[in-house]
Chains A and B, each alone.
Chain A
């Protein structure tokens, strides 16, 4: 797959050209492209003078990075302890069923990505689901359809 790499020099240029900048650069690439294209990893390695193996190691170690394209709408289900005991698994099953994918996957039409995340620190409103950065609290099993539409009336 070819990606528009013209934005890369700008992203890499934001940080000092040193191995220390590796995670920050990868985060910005991830934010911009919603994943880390292979070509971008190679460019980053070259620009920061880091072995490509280390770039690969870092990009597979941290949860924030994805080596595969993600969907337009990223649904993250919090599975922190509080969300777990308040039924996050149920929400996960419902969404997996509705989208016919498992957590960690993206629908073939690249519309949705379903992810689980280990606690987002909104425990008081458990269970919590985040759709493209927007928080939804006290989610119920019956809310799954609304979540897919990206709208859930606040309580």
Chain B
């Protein structure tokens, strides 16, 4: 069906909205990345199979919706029964029948499946009352968990594509650019460049054609906001891109998606096909004379392709090697033509800005960082998952109020933001309001929004070494400082974690870091030493413990630790013996086990499998 006019669109939206409220009950099964990893696919198929047989009187099979990420991934798989918003956690296939019998058929709430607040152990029946959600403000993630990720009708029922209709019929391209400028929206990919200014530059560029690219190459390890949006609410990204294309005068767009996100590719392609069927993409969109189409470009698995010039080379089918950007890519981008490149979350914000006006968006957040920001809150925190808060929310509010504090009540040590380009912030920075500028000033950066909380059992030397190894693996190898400098930094970090380094080695690392920063060609190298520099800035003592005392305070660096069996706690269950790959543990069933220090390779498997905490690290 083709939508011929904005009026036709409004009629459809109303019809689909009526269909939604017509369902007496709806089953929203979270199929986000986290819930899928804990078995959501089995839940979906079981619900479908059972409900097909059961023929419940006031339940339509169409009301089973596979939604995007609800956010509270730790508690998955999640099943929400709408319209009441009854929120079931950790649902297993065996619970499916009970949910149908009790909740769908008899309106009874199953208390053991409800969420419990971590501190009070209070059972919470409804979605909206859970602290984790109550303290968030969702714009980019507005539809996640609320609509089917496969069905454009759900998006339309929520008023989807009305921003596009408004832009096409009541606004000029210049007005759109100025609305986005007024909103103060800055690029959510990490650099925080003002979106309105980027669009204006592209719009005014004389060379033709202009291109619009959506960067879905979410390479920062520990970040998955963009994945969740692309999978769970693909139309909001498309709508943002189409509005952008109209504003900057482009007829062809690309979405560059990571190879590691096959579901995102699948859902986006489905969304593109559906939008094209409805005449929301392609020729003469909504009956106007504006035409725009979108192709998906699958990445090949290279972190450096998140860098704009490398990404554009990759879209063109080449190796993703960055070039010097002394002429900006907005003027000389894809195929050397003017190109707007924004990331997924940035585009997802656009329809809201057009609908509600830039000023209203700018009221949220901070003066120089407006609006909200989505984060993936992960690591050693209780409520891991996807969140969105106004800019300026403090790290403490995010980690303790929304995240529920540190896992197992261990002490907070640091929070890592900005991925391999960012840094680690210690407890003294917890009251920092989070925005683009404050994080950079504190030695970290916003990045795309990964927020990894670490406790006292994480070694910062090991963490810095991890990021250096990551970047070494992902560097394209074109320029000397990045390729050779990161290699040498990694060697030196390894020397420290092996207990073989001296203090001059640490000085050498700091000096080399500064050279890599000023000397490298692209952002990967220019920010590569940040994880090291920020940890040495805030945790110098821990580095010195490795160097002077040959000691790893967190008990992580293998060369500096030993594992021992605590005789009083060991019940001789044999679990550690079978876990030990090097056969360093001996003992009979029921007798205290012993670790041969000569054979032990300090992998920690015994420690991980011991349920009685009978193995200690020193």
Direct contact of A and B (CB under 8 A): yes
Residues of A bordering B, CB below 8 Å: 18-24, 26-27, 50, 54, 57-58, 61-65, 79-87, 89-90, 93-94, 97, 117-126, 128, 133, 135-138, 140-142, 154-155
B298 adjacent to A63 (CB under 8 Å) = no
A154 adjacent to B42 (CB under 8 Å) = yes
Query: In this complex, which of A22, A57, A58, A122 has the most chain B Cβ atoms within 10 angstroms of its Cβ?
Result: A122
Q: How large is the interface on B (under 10, 10 to 19, 20 to 34, 35 or more residues)?
A: 35 or more
- In the bound complex, what is the Cα–Cα distance between A81 and B262 (angstroms)? 21
B466 adjacent to A84 (CB under 8 Å) = yes
A121 adjacent to B224 (CB under 8 Å) = yes
Say yes or no: is B220 at the interface (Cβ < 8 Å to chain A): yes
Say yes or no: is B300 at the interface (Cβ < 8 Å to chain A): yes
A155 adjacent to B38 (CB under 8 Å) = yes
* A–B pairs, 19, beta carbons within 8 Å: A24-B317, A26-B300, A27-B300, A62-B301, A82-B379, A84-B466, A90-B604, A121-B33, A121-B224, A121-B227, A122-B33, A122-B224, A124-B385, A124-B386, A128-B37, A135-B33, A140-B609, A155-B38, A155-B92
Instruction: Across the interface, name the chain A residue whose C-beta is closest to B321.
Output: A61
B302 adjacent to A63 (CB under 8 Å) = yes
- B118 CB to nearest chain A CB (Å): 15
B466 adjacent to A81 (CB under 8 Å) = yes
- A131 CB to nearest chain B CB (Å): 12
A81 adjacent to B450 (CB under 8 Å) = yes
A124 adjacent to B605 (CB under 8 Å) = no
Total A-B residue contacts, Cβ distance less than 8 Å: 182
- B378 CB to nearest chain A CB (Å): 4
- In the bound complex, what is the Cα–Cα distance between A57 and B298 (angstroms)? 17
A20 adjacent to B317 (CB under 8 Å) = yes
B222 adjacent to A119 (CB under 8 Å) = yes
Say yes or no: is B318 at the interface (Cβ < 8 Å to chain A): yes
User: Which of chain A's residues have a CB closer than 8 A to the CB of B322?
Assistant: none
Beyond A22-B317, A140-B608, A155-B90, whether A124 also contacts B221 by CB under 8 A is no
B320 adjacent to A61 (CB under 8 Å) = yes
- B443 CB to nearest chain A CB (Å): 17
A126 adjacent to B378 (CB under 8 Å) = yes
User: Which of chain A's residues have a CB closer than 8 A to the CB of B222?
Assistant: 80-82, 119, 123
Beyond A117-B260, A124-B376, whether A154 also contacts B608 by CB under 8 A is no
B260 adjacent to A124 (CB under 8 Å) = no
- In the bound complex, what is the Cα–Cα distance between A86 and B260 (angstroms)? 20
Say which residue of B74, B92, B259, B302 sits within 8 Å of A124 (CB atoms): B74
B379 adjacent to A118 (CB under 8 Å) = no
Beyond A27-B259, A63-B300, A81-B419, whether A137 also contacts B466 by CB under 8 A is no
- B556 CB to nearest chain A CB (Å): 9
User: Which of chain A's residues have a CB closer than 8 A to the CB of B39?
Assistant: 154-155
* CB-based closest 4 A-B pairs: A62-B300, A154-B39, A124-B73, A137-B37
User: Which of chain A's residues have a CB closer than 8 A to the CB of B220?
Assistant: 119
User: Which of chain B's residues have a CB closer than 8 A to the CB of A117?
Assistant: 260, 301
Report B472-501 residues with CB < 8 Å from chain A CB.
473-474, 476
A118 adjacent to B473 (CB under 8 Å) = yes
Say yes or no: is B64 at the interface (Cβ < 8 Å to chain A): no
A85 adjacent to B314 (CB under 8 Å) = no
User: Which of chain B's residues have a CB closer than 8 A to the CB of A80?
Assistant: 221-222
- In the bound complex, what is the Cα–Cα distance between A2 and B466 (angstroms)? 40
User: Which of chain A's residues have a CB closer than 8 A to the CB of B103?
Assistant: none
User: Which of chain B's residues have a CB closer than 8 A to the CB of A81?
Assistant: 221-222, 379, 416, 419, 450, 452, 463, 466-467
- In the bound complex, what is the Cα–Cα distance between A117 and B300 (angstroms)? 12
B608 adjacent to A64 (CB under 8 Å) = no
B298 adjacent to A24 (CB under 8 Å) = yes
